[in-house]
Amino acid sequence: MATGNPTVLQGSSRDTKQRNKPLIKGVQTPNKEVIGLDAKKMLDRSRSKLNTRETQRIISVLDETIVKLELSSLIPCIIDSLDRFADMLGPAITNDLIEHQKLSSKVEDLLSSFQEEDTSRAEEQRDCLCLLEQHLKSSVRNILRRLLANPSLCQALKYEVCAKQSSAEAFIKAFREFRNFMHERLLTSLLEEKEKIQFMENISRRITKNTETLTALKAELAATTQSRDEKIHRKDNTIKNLKNSLQDVANNYKISVLQITQEGENQQKEELRSSQAKCAKLQQDIQQLRAQLCTLVLEHRESELALRKKKCKVEMEIEKWIQKYDADMGEKQAEYEELYALYSEEKAQVSLLQEKHAVLIQEYSQIEEERRIRQKKKERDLEELTTMTLAATRIQAFWRGYLVRLFFKSKKKKKKKGGGKKSYI
């Protein structure tokens, strides 16, 4: 694996150090440790889950409302291109959309022809408008109910329908922000709310302090700018004076040039004589330097030959290292291919086992369903047996009671008969 460039890493660390420094002297930057801890708390809060059922229900209701708002914002676009989506939607939803379009056109016509002069007519139109609005709401509810019953259709419509109303997008965005705010508010406890308020107060105090420092620095900057402008004004006056003096110098220059050219011609003649003598002397120096050049060329050729030999040696070593690298990489490539073959084989085995596992899960679910049905039937039979046993017990008890009462009744009759005969005797 390729390692990162150390210079780049050093540069990035240097940049981060410079970025962490305050840009202006006197402006306090927030404490990094405090901000880091608070940011970690906020992240932990956002990662926490909703514990109570009430909060989960509130968030689920808000999510369902967002989905319904997105679908209802797609309805006008679908109605505009209903011929294109008719096959996808089906006849029932298409008929509902046509009815919804008719109701919308009726409402628009009624609103356009709304008259405020005639009070009786206006009241009738208001009643009619209220009735049409109720029908329109029920139509939207029916369409949303049919669309939500088919989630794949909703997903396909979101991909197919691209154009949305800007007002609907703004409302959905605002509702999503409200949902996120409610989610964060439900996750935030009273202690965390107090910590958050304290953190915001600390930040506001730092902001006010930095603002005061910035105002002082701005005043200092204004004073510095004013002094700089004054210096620039003085320098502009100096430049104007220098331009005037340069104009005078140019006029004097023309006069002096004529004098200098005359003097130069005379001096040129004298220097021509002296230059001829110097050329002869320089010719001798050139010959001596050429001899030195030849000796230096010979020396440099010898050193070049030695360097060429050294270069050939280094190139041979580099070639050896390259060959060694190629051999190592060939071995690694062969090892990689073997490992990849083993990996593909194991992957095929895993896919086969997964298929078997899916089949076994399906069979297990069928067996569990059969067991559940048998258990249910067994419980039903047991309940029937219990009911029948209880009924038989009650019938037997009633019959025994009846026999006992019958026995005692017959006994009483015998006693009465026997007692009457004795008294008669």
pLDDT in tens, 225-284: 898 888 898 888 888 888 888 888 877 878 888 888 888 788 888 888 888 888 888 888
If one counts the domains in the chain, the total is 1
d(CA 358, CA 190): 48
> 305 vs 25, 318, 330, CA distance in Å?
63, 20, 37
Residue 161 covered by a domain: yes
DSSP 28: P
CA quadruple 364, 367, 368, 371: dihedral, nearest 10: -160
In a domain, 67, yes or no: yes
Q: Which residue is associated with the tokens 């302090």?
A: 209
Extract the tokens encoding 155. Answer: 């997903």
> What CA dihedral angle connects 267, 268, 270 and 276, to 10 degrees?
150
What is the C-alpha separation between 172 and 1, in angstroms, rounded? 47
Tokens of 378: 């067994």
What distances in angstroms separate CA 296 from CA 226, 302, 325, one per listed residue? 65, 10, 43
Domain span at residue 35?
Answer: 28-188
Name the one residue in this structure whose structure tokens are 């990094």. Answer: 32
> Are residues 106 and 132 in contact, defined by beta-carbon separation less than 8 angstroms?
yes
Amino acid present at 246:
L
CA distance linking residue 235 with residue 245, whole number of Å? 15
Per-residue pLDDT of the chain (425 residues; tens, 9 = 90+): 333 343 333 433 444 444 444 433 444 444 444 444 444 444 444 444 555 677 788 888 888 888 887 877 777 777 777 777 777 777 787 787 778 778 777 777 777 776 554 555 667 777 777 887 788 788 778 877 877 777 777 777 777 665 555 667 788 888 888 888 888 777 776 777 777 778 888 888 888 888 899 899 999 998 998 988 888 988 888 888 888 888 888 778 788 888 888 887 888 888 888 888 888 888 888 988 888 889 888 888 888 898 989 999 999 999 999 999 999 998 999 999 999 999 999 999 999 999 988 899 999 999 999 999 999 999 999 999 999 999 999 999 999 989 988 888 888 877 776 654 444 33
Say how many C-beta atoms besides its own lie within 10 A of residue 75's C-beta. 22
Task: Give the whole-angstrom CA distance, residue 160 versus residue 78.
Answer: 10
Question: Largest alpha-carbon pair distance within the chain?
Answer: 207
At 95 the pLDDT is: 80
In a domain, 361, yes or no: no
Nearest C-alpha neighbor of 129 from the set 103, 167, 96: 103
Q: Flag whether 116 is in a domain.
A: yes
Confirm if 386 and 393 have CB atoms less than 8 A apart: no
On the CB side of 13, CA atoms within 13 Å amount to 5
What is the per-residue pLDDT for 260?
83
Give the per-residue pLDDT at 34: 43
Residue count of the chain: 425
What are the backbone dihedrals phi and psi of residue 266, each rounded to the nearest 5 degrees, phi first?
-65, -45
Q: What is the pTM of this model?
A: 0.35
Distance, CA of 263 to CA of 153 (rounded, Å): 103
Q: Which one, of 239, 280, 160, 215, lies nearest residue 24 by Cα? A: 215
Q: What's the pLDDT at 27? A: 41
Give a yes or no: residue 262 inside a domain: no
- Please, what is the Cα angle at 306 between 304 and 311, to 5 degrees? 90
Contacts of 32 (CB under 8 A, 6+ apart): 20
Buried b (16+ CB within 10 A) or exposed e, 322-340: eeeeeeeeeeeeeeeeeee
pLDDT value of position 322: 92
Return the closest-CA partner of residue 172 out of 62, 274, 98. 62
Distance CA 183, CA 172 (A): 16
Residue burial 215-242, b: 16+ Cβ < 10 Å; e: rest: eeeeeeeeeeeeeeeeeeeeeeeeeeee
